[in-house]
Amino acid sequence: MKKIVETIGFLVFVQGVGGLLYEWTGWFRLWTLVRHVGFLGDRLLFVSIVLIVAGAAVMIAADSIKT
């Protein structure tokens, strides 16, 4: 269970980093899922930062899971 939570946290973190890279450079166009969500509109930068923080928090919280 701990590895699954760590993996999910890592994937969320990577999506946030990819979203930031897409906003700043235009790369990773097909790789980021955030830009494909229509209702986010102009908030992609904010959502990417939130994803980075949430992914890091999930990875840190995964350490408290007892195996």
Q: What pLDDT is stored for residue 67 in this prediction?
A: 66
Per-residue pLDDT in tens (0 to 9) along the chain, 67 residues: 889 999 999 999 999 999 898 888 887 777 778 777 888 778 888 999 999 999 999 999 998 887 6
Q: What pLDDT is stored for residue 40 in this prediction?
A: 77
Cβ atoms within 10 Å, residue 64: 8
Q: Say how far apart CA 38 and CA 54 lie, in whole Å.
A: 21
The H or E element that residue 55 is part of is helix 44-61
Q: What pLDDT is stored for residue 32 in this prediction?
A: 79
Q: Say how far apart CA 19 and CA 61 lie, in whole Å.
A: 23
Q: What pTM was estimated for this model as a whole?
A: 0.86
Q: What pLDDT is stored for residue 43 in this prediction?
A: 86
